[in-house]
Amino acid sequence: METMQYISTRGTTRPMGFQDAVLTGLAPDGGLLIPAEIPNVSALLDDWAKLSYQDITFEILRLFTDLPNDDLRELIDSSYANFRHPEIAPAWPVGPVHILELFHGPTLAFKDIALQFLSNFFEYILKRTGRRLNILGATSGDTGSAAIHGVRGRERINIFIMHPHGRVAPLQEKQMTSVLDPNVFNIAIEGTFDDCQQIMKSIFNDLDFKEKYSLGAVNSVNWARVMVQIVYYFSAGLYVMTETESSHVQFAVPTGNFGDVLAGYYAARMGLPISHLILATNENDILARFFNTGEYSLGRVVPTLSPSMDIQVASNFERYLYYRLNADSEKLKAVMKEFATTGKLHVPLVSGGCVDDLFIAGVGTTADTLATIRKYHEQYGYLLDPHTAVGVHVAEQHLSRNDATVCLATAHPAKFSKAIQDAVGSDLAYHPVLDALRDAKTRMTVLPADEAAVRTFIEDHVQD
């Protein structure tokens, strides 16, 4: 089997292997790295349906990586050793849908599934090369804490995580800022998540600065994040289709940055029989509007009960656009330039009057979110976190008689206890991991939404 190569969506970066792609993060030409080809695994699905989560992970990752098999297995086993459920990502029937629980990792969020692996991979490769890495990331909530908990205390890694000051849930902030290891730096930016993300991308585009300070990425601009998330679509999809005797499955995905649903898109391209990806946004609905109209246009970021989705510019959207534009990098660069200039871009609709017949898109408002949390608690005895509730609400508008519907539960409800209390009238959402943070000491630095200020902070705190 030939080793997978990675290319840039912008078309001018030389192909590279997996290890270089992960350490590079954002491509030198400003694009996003993607596999040069997408493997088709349709013929393997019957066999995969009998495998454990870790074994499916191994089968998928060996298609995309250049790691020795024994090393890859060791990385996978160590990455999931501290998850709180033996199935890693179990799927349960709840009312008219199946709920895929992705929150059994160390920080109670789906980001743990990929970031535990990525953190272990970074340590693996840095030990072998003698290199150091300074991670720069931006978070709207859960990526930051998952990344920080993955690399805290590691010898060859420092991590700088930006979050929008006062715009993440209090428990999400506490999970990040209570980690006091000397290699962890929390930066609260006086602005929105989009400001944090723009600062990060601009710094990564300065190749001299990136090289001088050995910067690496943990955001879903890093291909490894998307790659590892592909696994739970296969694991849950094969399990639920078997349980329900369905020939196809559809997934409802609450999304803001397009990384999680993009993993489902790759799973479909690889041969998993997905009838639809139900893309769900909150009032920050740029992605829903795009898939319904063909126009991707900036709006104002509105604070909601699902803060991890309070995003306008989705960092993974360029990967999807590349495929939607028939892998034409020149067309892609033209539409991205249009977006940078006007705040809008357009793609033509297909014959059915939509952007892509794989996608169904909808919006769950604050009222919808609260009503869905209340309904699932009262009728089914199940607590949804507000992000998951957005996905479940939109999924209920598109249930299929023939295809099972799986809704991704992206975080434990205890991370958003106020929203739960507002919805059900009682403070029901607890978890001992979060209870332990109540009186924890915290540390963070507040900076303006200014790239120069962040650069200076990095320069002053990088440790040799």
What pTM was estimated for this model as a whole?
A: 0.94
Q: What is the pLDDT of residue 226?
A: 96
Residue 113 has which token pair? Answer: 């599934």
Neighbours of 20 (CB within 10 A): 15
Q: What is the pLDDT of residue 2?
A: 74
Please choose, from the candidates 246, 250, 301, the residue with its C-alpha nearest in 3D space to the C-alpha of residue 280: 250
Residue 2 has which token pair? Answer: 């030939």
CA distances from 51 to 19, 87, 88, 270, 456 (A): 26, 11, 13, 18, 49
Q: What is the pLDDT of residue 463?
A: 61
Tell me the HSE value of 29 on the side-chain side, using a 13 A CA sphere: 16
Evaluate whether 276 touches 361 at the Cβ level (below 8 Å). Answer: no
Please choose, from the candidates 54, 20, 226, 199, the residue with its C-alpha nearest in 3D space to the C-alpha of residue 143: 226
Query: What residues contact residue 14 under an 8 Å CB cut-off, 6+ apart?
Result: none
Tell me the HSE value of 332 on the side-chain side, using a 13 A CA sphere: 22
Q: What is the pLDDT of residue 132?
A: 92
Q: What is the pLDDT of residue 272?
A: 98
Is residue 127 annotated as part of the catalytic site, yes or no? no
Dihedral, CA of residue 304, residue 291, residue 258 and residue 178, to nearest 10: 0
Domain ranges of the chain: 91-106+224-430
Q: What is the pLDDT of residue 374?
A: 98
Residue 161 has which token pair? Answer: 């995580």
Q: Cα–Cα distance between 144 and 168 in angstroms, integer?
A: 11
The fold for domain 91-106+224-430 equals: Rossmann fold (3.40.50)
Evaluate whether 385 touches 416 at the Cβ level (below 8 Å). Answer: yes
Task: Show pLDDT as tens, one digit a residue, over the chain (464 residues).
Answer: 578 999 999 999 999 999 999 999 889 999 999 999 999 999 999 999 999 999 999 999 999 999 999 999 999 999 999 999 999 999 999 999 999 999 999 999 999 999 999 999 999 999 998 999 999 999 887 788 999 999 999 989 999 999 999 988 888 899 999 999 999 999 999 999 889 999 999 999 999 999 999 999 888 889 999 999 999 999 999 999 999 999 999 999 999 889 999 999 999 999 999 999 999 999 999 999 999 999 999 988 898 999 889 888 888 999 999 999 999 999 999 999 999 999 999 999 987 788 999 999 999 999 999 999 999 999 999 999 999 999 999 999 999 999 999 999 999 999 999 999 999 999 899 999 999 998 899 999 999 999 999 999 999 998 65
Element (H, E) at 425: none
